[in-house]
Amino acid sequence: MKISEYVRKFEALCEEHDIPPETVMSFLVELSQRERWNLYLHYEEDMPEDLVPEFEAGMERILNDEPMAHVLGYSWFYGYRIPVNEDVLIPRPETEELCAYTLARIDRNFPEGEVVCADIGTGSGAIAITLCKEEPRVSMTATDISEEALVMARKAAELNGANIRFLAGDMLQPLIEQGIRLDVLVCNPPYIPDDEAMERSVVDFEPHVALFGGSDGLKFYREVFRGCRQVLKEKAFMAFEMGWNQREAMSRLVEEILPGVPYEILKDMNGKDRMLFVYFNCDKQ
């Protein structure tokens, strides 16, 4: 079969399984780049025989709701290749925006010198890697309660040449124990309420510890808000990803635990409330 025929065949199967048909081309593009052959130049030619088994086996897993990133063994984030498996959450495009906004605020508030930063609950390490690679002045520490996640994050950091200090422990505790004081605290915690229904591709293949944040989804924000003054410098800011429908609840939580501290909630590229920034003697962008 021609490459184009394979694509049409599996696009139809994806539609039958309620999977975006563009997944087929995305998967094939990754395979073609790995094998160093030009997909578009040969699109109307026969599929290379040595690629057929891998392509068909991979598409079978995808049609069974397994994430494409798990089939490939990696995901792309901010231009960096991040290894993923069932021990870490696959990094999302929305989180790239969190990184971009954080970098802009670092430039504004800390234009010179070292910037001490921590990524709390780092998971795959995508945020930590992006911030320290994009801003060489960042001195990055990353924490996670999952030893399995830290194995993957260290692998990702080594792959991308990122100098990161990894600490095992629950949320802020490793920083408190080490006496670390931060200019910037970044956190993309689990924020899905425990009883919220999720797609099978998420529930069956991604770690629940990285997804669910208590009965209202705000458990880990409470922990960070209550303990943040123990790890922040006098001038600092915090950056969080949040659920698109948590604006009112998040606003109440910040005002309750950190009364009088300025904050803002930003929308993502889809116009959804997705990022929270909290400022201690820092300027908004």
Instruction: Give tens-digit pLDDT for 16-42.
Output: 999 999 999 999 999 887 666 777 788
Q: Let me know if residue 69 belongs to a domain.
A: no
Residues 90 and 56 occupy one common structural domain: no
Residues 60 and 102 occupy one common structural domain: no
Average pLDDT for 60-70: 93
Residues 90 and 175 occupy one common structural domain: yes
Residues 47 and 127 occupy one common structural domain: no
Q: Let me know if residue 74 belongs to a domain.
A: no
SS3 205: coil
Q: Let me know if residue 285 belongs to a domain.
A: no
Which of 100, 98, 151, 145 lies closest to 124 in space, CA to CA?
A: 151
* 146 C-beta neighbours (distance < 10 Å), count: 18
Q: Let me know if residue 71 belongs to a domain.
A: no
Predicted pLDDT of residue 211:
43
Q: Let me know if residue 70 belongs to a domain.
A: no
Cα separation, 121 vs 220, whole angstroms: 10
What is the share, in percent, of the chain residues with pLDDT greater than 90? Answer: 75
Average pLDDT for 261-271: 95
| Amino acid symbol at 260 | G
- On the question of pLDDT at 206 being above 60, the answer is no
Residues 95 and 218 occupy one common structural domain: yes
Average pLDDT for 203-208: 46
State the burial class of residue 231 (Cβ atoms within 10 Å of its Cβ: 0-12, 13-18, 19+).
Answer: buried
Domain count, the chain: 2
> Could you tell me if 91 and 75 are in contact, meaning their C-beta atoms sit under 8 angstroms apart?
yes
Residues 106 and 50 occupy one common structural domain: no
Average pLDDT for 119-137: 97
Which of 136, 65, 135, 124 lies closest to 95 in space, CA to CA?
A: 124
- On the question of pLDDT at 200 being above 70, the answer is no
| Prediction pTM value | 0.89
Predicted pLDDT of residue 95:
94
Q: Let me know if residue 72 belongs to a domain.
A: no
Residues 187 and 263 occupy one common structural domain: yes
- On the question of pLDDT at 201 being above 90, the answer is no
Q: Let me know if residue 51 belongs to a domain.
A: yes
> Could you tell me if 50 and 32 are in contact, meaning their C-beta atoms sit under 8 angstroms apart?
no
Residues 55 and 108 occupy one common structural domain: no
Residues 111 and 156 occupy one common structural domain: yes
- On the question of pLDDT at 204 being above 90, the answer is no
Cα separation, 268 vs 240, whole angstroms: 13
Residues 215 and 160 occupy one common structural domain: yes
Give the domain extent around 103.
85-280
pLDDT range class, residue 219, cuts 50, 70, 90:
confident
> Looking at the DSSP assignment, which residues form a beta bridge with residue 240?
187, 276
What's the mean pLDDT when you consider all of the chain? 89
Q: Let me know if residue 129 belongs to a domain.
A: yes
Residues 95 and 14 occupy one common structural domain: no
CATH number for the domain harbouring residue 128: 3.40.50.150
Residues 93 and 57 occupy one common structural domain: no
pLDDT range class, residue 285, cuts 50, 70, 90:
low
